[in-house]
Structure 1
């Protein structure tokens, strides 16, 4: 898809896309940890987080060919381009700087293996890590990043 293609999709609610947005599960402990790490590592302080259960999150998932409710639902949007799964996490890390650059090591793993591994973790994330409420546990700095 071309950059900013979601702007032409009537099912995607209009939103401010001037800054990057991470679309992630708001109930997964692992995703809540990821959101806290974005809050801690994002040196520019502009990456926002949108839980995939929101109308915007669900519309963006559908636009990019994902099924809402499917565990394979981690997107990172920056300058109209989207990354998925471990590629999205690596992009967030590269953009955040500092220790976040370590996430780029995910890209060393061959893509077929990386995709397989992501799928296995995503499909079993609640059994492996449990559930939480991202919004309920968020400190004020993280709450300021949330698109709900």
Structure 2
């Protein structure tokens, strides 16, 4: 088991996505999930919030330099490519992508790491976290 292997998280809210709120790429990912999550299953927590920082620290993510997003689903917390594929696998239009989890993380996570390492340089960074629309505000926990 590696540092970023899925872990039990029975006390965390189901459907919670922890994300880097100042990362433009990450904020676009959140908007994409909101658009495709017709059941409104997922909720969002920026790592820059007090609750986001606490969750990050609890699971070994450095809140000052996050190397991963995370998602809680089914009482487990997933990181890196597992997190993205878990979310995609839970949404109707992208459910088939869940099959990519059969590929070993050893092969998937280097691509994830490359994007994560360069996300600010390629996609940009904002000074503030994403501001949700009024109809989606309750889906953001901070």
Structure 2 length-normalised TM: 0.82
In structure 2, runs of 5+ residues without a counterpart are: 1-6
In structure 1, runs of 5+ residues without a counterpart are: 8-14
Indicate conservation of the 8 Å contact 1:23/1:74, yes or no: yes
Indicate conservation of the 8 Å contact 1:48/1:147, yes or no: yes
Indicate conservation of the 8 Å contact 1:36/1:142, yes or no: no
1:1-148 paired onto structure 2 within 5 Å? 1-4=7-10, 7=11, 17=13, 19-98=14-93, 100-101=94-95, 103-104=97-98, 106-107=100-101, 109-132=103-126, 133-136=128-131, 138-148=132-142
Pick closer, same or farther for the CA change 1:2–1:46 going to 2, 3 Å. closer
Distance 2:99 2:136 in 1: 25
Size of the aligned set, in residue pairs, is 135
Structure 1 length-normalised TM: 0.79
Indicate conservation of the 8 Å contact 1:89/1:103, yes or no: no
Please give the per-residue CA displacement for 1:75-97, whole angstroms capped at 9, x wherever unaligned: 00123210101111111111121
Q: What is the CA RMSD across the aligned residues, in angstroms? A: 2.1
Shift of 1:111: 1.7
